[in-house]
Structure 1
Amino acid sequence: MDDQAIDYKKLLNAFQQGATQVIKEKQELNQINVFPVSDGDTGSNLASLMQAILEETNKEATSVLEVFERVAEASLLGARGNSGIIFAQYFNGIYNNLLIQEEKNSVASFVKSVKSAIAEAYQAISNPVEGTIITVIRSWAEALSENDQVQGLEKLLPKALAEAEQALNNTTKQLKVLQRNQVVDAGAKGFYIFITGFTHAFVNKETTVKSRTYSDDSPKIEISDTKHLNTSEPKYRYCTEILLDHVTKPKAEIQMKLAPYGDSLIVAVNRNKARIHIHSNQPDEVLSYLSTIGQPLQQKADDMLLQYQVNQHKKASIALVTDSIADVPAEYILNNQIHVLPMNILIGNTSYIDKITIQSKQFFKMNKNRSERATSSQPTLKTVENLFSFLETRYEAIIVITVADKLSGTFHTVKEAAKKMTASTTRIEVIDSKQNSAAQGLLIMNAAELIHSGLTFDEIVEQIKKKRSQLKILVSVDDLDPMIDSGRIPQFAGKIAKKINVKPIVSLNEKGEGQLSDFAFSLKGNERKIIHQLKKIHTKNKIRRYAIIHANAEQRAQHWKNKLSEAVGFQPSYIMDISTVIAMSAGQGSIAVAVEIEERGD
């Protein structure tokens, strides 16, 4: 075997076919995903990893080592979820071990490396559990090593695949949750599917691997209502993942520091990069610590509690989606199973997830002494596609209500993602709210009520679009600098306004564009003008409900609540902090009132 050399072109093709196989079978993996939590996303997470590998291995390579280097790098960048990060650490372990081998293209070096990399995969996990992906990885790698008298990978790989299949089937007996649900571990099966495609391509020189269960016209896989009744509600809400560069601490120290913040902790480190996975109720504190030991490049935080509730007891057949600019209470979001696409906030070189890894109060503290202006960006196309991938297997239809198209590119990003769902039978409607902040929040509340009213999909969409014109938001701005810096107020006009100490009242027009609604020379003057406007609206059209939001000005918000309750005769539906994205342009101390009008007058 020592004299046997691996054909790097065959190896590259084998990786591509293994990755393709996993992507094709992602729905099956999602369906059987019950450990460590029943969030039904293992297939989607592994598909994301495999897509990254496909993209990286699409280029020409010149050696076995280069193939593994590309796979290792792509897997660390593309890994998502428990199994994805273990996968990534294992591939990186193989590459690291191959680097120290004298003959890097030989079958012997490959076999030694896949076995030695087992230790690195185990070390990535704070609490390794047998009966999962790690067990099947170990069984496969050890089988390759035990059969090392067999000549060539063409004979080694099929024997190891048979051992891996047996290990996979045994996972059902090793974990009670798998036994109760009569399934194998989803991550373990994902690895088995990968090595199946890898083996068939390498041994048979296949350029296309046919899936056992997938076809383009296959019916949509539904999640059984009773499939996961034995799983429990997650202790920690957010599945948090962060990719770090320029890491200054060893893996063991990172694991020790993060352990108090949650469970399911996995840390994969290689070449000064680290991919961290943790289930936590404090993703903001996790990121805060990691920012001190490296440069965060990517992050995500999936709401496992919402996913669990949808899997266990879906409240409607239509999914409602919005973005984090919509200011609506977190409790309402969870109770009504509303899915939120988070905006991203860039402060310095670090990106934060709006309302999850950063709140508006934190933003003002962090941004206080910075000369460089913070910026925001819409959810990435990949983020939207991942959410759609989760929703399409659980809902008959999806309604997405975005922040005003005139204020953000979110609407177009979501529309692009919806266009790509051509193979899906799930109907998707993307609606430009023509609003933002609490006005968008009130529209979301209306949409949730319409979804539960029993109307048809088309009737709901029609009613939501009609309701947009019955919403209004008025913002009292204290500090003009953020409005000038963000371009909401022209610099020339802003400088004049600052000189004469003008306090503007900002609103949105019918197209969703920002506009100066009125102004006063004091915050009290603003307050009087806004209350007067709302009294007139209530007298003419009747205000159905309203909400008050603020940018780190809770006392003033409570004062406004008392004044408005007296003016219109009832309490606001809610009071809450403004979204960080809106806070960036509205500035600290801003107060806003959003109202929903019962009906328009002539």
Structure 2
Amino acid sequence: MMKIKYLNSSRLYRALAAGGKAVIASQDYLNMINVFPVADADTGINLSMTMRAVLQGRTQSGSLSGSLRSMADSALSGARGNSGIIFAQYLHGLSREIPAKDELELTSFASAALKAVDHLYQSLMNPVEGTMLTVIRRWAESLKTASEKTGDYLQALLHAQDTARQALQETPHQLKVLKDAGVVDAGAYGIVRFLEGVVDYIQKGSLREHISETIAAIEMPAIEDHSGAPTTYRYCTEAILSSVKADIKELKSLIGNLGDSIILAGGPDKYHLHIHTNQPDLIFDKLFNLAEVSSPKVDDMLRQYQISHERKFPIGLVTDTACDLPQELADRYQIVQIPFGISFGDRFYLDKHTIQAKQFYRLLSSYHKHPVSSQPAPAMIQNLLEFTAMNYDKVIAVHISDKLSGAYQSSSLIASRLAPGKLGVIDSKQLSVTEGLVTLRIVRAIEAGMSFEEIMESSKQWTRNTKIYTDINTLKYMVRGGRVPPLAGFIADLLNLKPIVSLDAEGKAQVYGKSLSRKRNMDKIIAFIGKELQTRKIWEYAIVHAEAEDRAQSYAHKLTQLTGKKPAYIMPLSPVVGVHNGIGAVGIGVSYDPA
């Protein structure tokens, strides 16, 4: 076979494409052996998505360093998860160390590959050996050693590949969690598959659609049940930071005590942050003071683990964050929530993920621009629904009224692509507290053993028998958000009118009543509910509020006297609903039993 004496832009791209295809072909196996740092079955997905970002981000350039830099930048932006960001950071370091040449001999490439390892380790708060870090480091060291004996890329890569395989086999001896599970490190295995894909391409000269899964030098252990659900930190949090006003040491110091698995990949012009934390909202609150923050991502590792390893029911439940249901109930029933977007100027948040109610209402009262809400990205909806559907016999998705958002339509489109009857999508014709009550009723039916078909049919009646009464303090937030014409808002303010807003049978907003005082509003709402109780019984009721807990408690006291039962819950109003209802609003949701 002809010796390969140099590397250029096109050869680099083809090699990376071959390596990426090998990783993508191994995606399912990588997911199955994923136990570190969290057994959330997503290493294969994360590495595959990162590989796709690398290949899609290549710009045409005759320069080897230019092509590598474009792919590294795309990797930083598109990387997912711990493993994806580590790979992206290594590419980033390599792109910074590669000499600005169109063609590169082996010794220069091997030297750059080893120097890039330093970039990788410096990006991590606490580097852990026995992972993909170890495999990358030992591969780079071996490549450098081989380059001192030969100028042939293939010969050196074969030598370094053998070293990487050996390092992979040793990972269970370095991390007890791997040994206990009987697996090698998933990220390290992904790197070995990548390297083998590169060598396979050089030897055979074609980018085949399917690359062999057989790795003769590595034993494939039987898959065992993984233990080790996330116990310390729950949320895998990521973001792209640009125009950063601090160096990497300051950034690490700022967030270092808020989590672990911290990676700051990239350089001063752009960082890709990865951290496991219990307070993603606090992370973003700090970051917005130091940088432009984009592409936020928050994965609930606990929920992922529960769904894939410890599901309670055969039917899974998904809803959106316009659904106001306490976290303790969402956890008890393993409910998945899809976040809406909220923008304060150029600050973009994920509702109930990177911003919580307390912080939202503080910004609402002080920020110079009124926030704008946006429906969940279709790709996010698809990823969460498909992951949930993969792990349950059936899935039910409950959404905010389709007259208020396109989330229901997005989920319905995804349902049409899945097996018939796999995913049932429900338009709750509600929002906030009443969407929460419909969701609670459905999940209790799941718990009671009702069938998928029975629940889908009964949900029509449950949505009809649920009513929301929202006691609005002022219309100024609805005016700012474009829900109410400015003139109407001005007149209401001039006359001190306090509207009661509800939803009609189709889920459209309607003014249900109005008064000249908040006290009269409360009296009217209690009277509305009292009249309904003359012909039917309450199943459950609940209350939400926007920085108006005292008023919510007053409603609870009066309704407890009226109904003889306490509210199912009282909680803050979701930020995405608070965009329009504003500070001081109180929502009362009532779910009635049929007359």
Q: Does the alignment reach a TM-score above 0.5?
A: yes
Summarize the Cα distance change of 1:456–1:158 in structure 2 as closer, same or farther, 3 Å threshold: farther
Corresponding position of 1:234: 231
Measure how far apart 1:314 and its partner are: 1.2
Corresponding position of 1:219: none
Distance in 2 between residues matched to 1:458 and 1:91, nearest whole Å: 50
Measure how far apart 1:115 and its partner are: 1.3
Distance in 2 between residues matched to 1:54 and 1:513, nearest whole Å: 45
Measure how far apart 1:389 and its partner are: 4.6
Distance in 1 between residues matched to 2:90 and 2:573, nearest whole Å: 43
Corresponding position of 1:504: 499
Measure how far apart 1:171 and its partner are: 0.9
Q: Any residues of structure 2 matched to 1:156-195 within 5 Å, and which?
A: 156-195=156-195
Corresponding position of 1:72: 72
Corresponding position of 2:383: 386
| 1:574 counterpart (566, 569, 572) | 569
User: Higher mean Cα deviation, 169-178 or 267-276?
Assistant: 267-276
User: Higher mean Cα deviation, 256-265 or 89-98?
Assistant: 256-265
Corresponding position of 1:290: 287
> Which amino acid in structure 2 is aligned with residue 471 of structure 1?
T
Distance in 2 between residues matched to 1:52 and 1:465, nearest whole Å: 42
> Which amino acid in structure 1 is aligned with residue 562 of structure 2?
A
Identity between Structure 1 and Structure 2 (%): 37
Corresponding position of 1:588: 583
> Which amino acid in structure 1 is aligned with residue 183 of structure 2?
V
Distance in 2 between residues matched to 1:204 and 1:500, nearest whole Å: 81
Distance in 1 between residues matched to 2:244 and 2:178, nearest whole Å: 36
The alignment status of 1:253 with 2:254, answered yes or no, reads no
Q: Secondary structure at the match of 1:147?
A: helix
Corresponding position of 1:5: 6
Q: Deviations over 1:492-538 (max 9, x none)?
A: 32222222111111111122111111111111111111111111112
Summarize the Cα distance change of 1:454–1:181 in structure 2 as closer, same or farther, 3 Å threshold: same
Q: Any residues of structure 2 matched to 1:176-575 within 5 Å, and which?
A: 176-212=176-212, 227-229=225-227, 231-419=228-416, 422=418, 427-575=422-570
User: Higher mean Cα deviation, 159-168 or 114-123?
Assistant: 159-168
Measure how far apart 1:311 and its partner are: 4.0
Q: Are the equivalent residues in 2 in contact too, given 1:17–1:209 (CA < 8 A)?
A: no
Q: Secondary structure at the match of 1:301?
A: strand
Q: Are the equivalent residues in 2 in contact too, given 1:8–1:64 (CA < 8 A)?
A: yes
Q: Secondary structure at the match of 1:488?
A: coil
Distance in 2 between residues matched to 1:432 and 1:598, nearest whole Å: 19
Corresponding position of 2:21: 20
User: Higher mean Cα deviation, 510-519 or 437-446?
Assistant: 510-519
Paired positions, count: 586
> Which amino acid in structure 2 is aligned with residue 88 of structure 1?
A
Q: Are the equivalent residues in 1 in contact too, given 2:352–2:574 (CA < 8 A)?
A: yes
Q: Are the equivalent residues in 2 in contact too, given 1:488–1:514 (CA < 8 A)?
A: no
Q: Are the equivalent residues in 2 in contact too, given 1:65–1:105 (CA < 8 A)?
A: no
Distance in 1 between residues matched to 2:382 and 2:139, nearest whole Å: 33
Distance in 1 between residues matched to 2:37 and 2:95, nearest whole Å: 28
Distance in 2 between residues matched to 1:62 and 1:388, nearest whole Å: 42
Q: Secondary structure at the match of 1:278?
A: strand
Q: Secondary structure at the match of 1:158?
A: helix
Summarize the Cα distance change of 1:26–1:287 in structure 2 as closer, same or farther, 3 Å threshold: same
Distance in 1 between residues matched to 2:113 and 2:444, nearest whole Å: 54
Q: Are the equivalent residues in 1 in contact too, given 2:86–2:265 (CA < 8 A)?
A: yes
Corresponding position of 1:218: none
> Which amino acid in structure 1 is aligned with residue 225 of structure 2?
K
Q: Are the equivalent residues in 2 in contact too, given 1:65–1:104 (CA < 8 A)?
A: no
> Which amino acid in structure 2 is aligned with residue 146 of structure 1?
T
Distance in 1 between residues matched to 2:507 and 2:572, nearest whole Å: 22
TM-score, length-normalised on structure 1? 0.92
Q: Secondary structure at the match of 1:398?
A: strand
Distance in 1 between residues matched to 2:22 and 2:343, nearest whole Å: 36
Q: Are the equivalent residues in 2 in contact too, given 1:264–1:278 (CA < 8 A)?
A: yes
Q: Are the equivalent residues in 2 in contact too, given 1:236–1:262 (CA < 8 A)?
A: yes
Measure how far apart 1:113 and its partner are: 1.5
TM-score, length-normalised on structure 2? 0.93
Summarize the Cα distance change of 1:16–1:431 in structure 2 as closer, same or farther, 3 Å threshold: farther
Q: Deviations over 1:128-147 (max 9, x none)?
A: 11110101111222222121
Distance in 2 between residues matched to 1:80 and 1:426, nearest whole Å: 31
Measure how far apart 1:235 and its partner are: 0.8
Instruction: Give structure 1 stretches of 5+ with no counterpart.
Output: 215-222
Summarize the Cα distance change of 1:2–1:206 in structure 2 as closer, same or farther, 3 Å threshold: closer
Summarize the Cα distance change of 1:3–1:567 in structure 2 as closer, same or farther, 3 Å threshold: closer
> Which amino acid in structure 1 is aligned with residue 423 of structure 2?
I
Summarize the Cα distance change of 1:489–1:273 in structure 2 as closer, same or farther, 3 Å threshold: same
Distance in 1 between residues matched to 2:206 and 2:262, nearest whole Å: 38
User: Higher mean Cα deviation, 572-581 or 509-518?
Assistant: 509-518
Instruction: Give structure 2 stretches of 5+ with no counterpart.
Output: 215-221
Measure how far apart 1:487 and its partner are: 2.6
Instruction: Give the root-mean-square deviation of aligned CA atoms.
Output: 2.3
> Which amino acid in structure 2 is aligned with residue 506 of structure 1?
V
Q: Deviations over 1:41-80 (max 9, x none)?
A: 21222222122223213x5443322321121111110112
Q: Deviations over 1:217-240 (max 9, x none)?
A: xxxxxx98x6113x2542112122
Q: Are the equivalent residues in 1 in contact too, given 2:415–2:422 (CA < 8 A)?
A: no
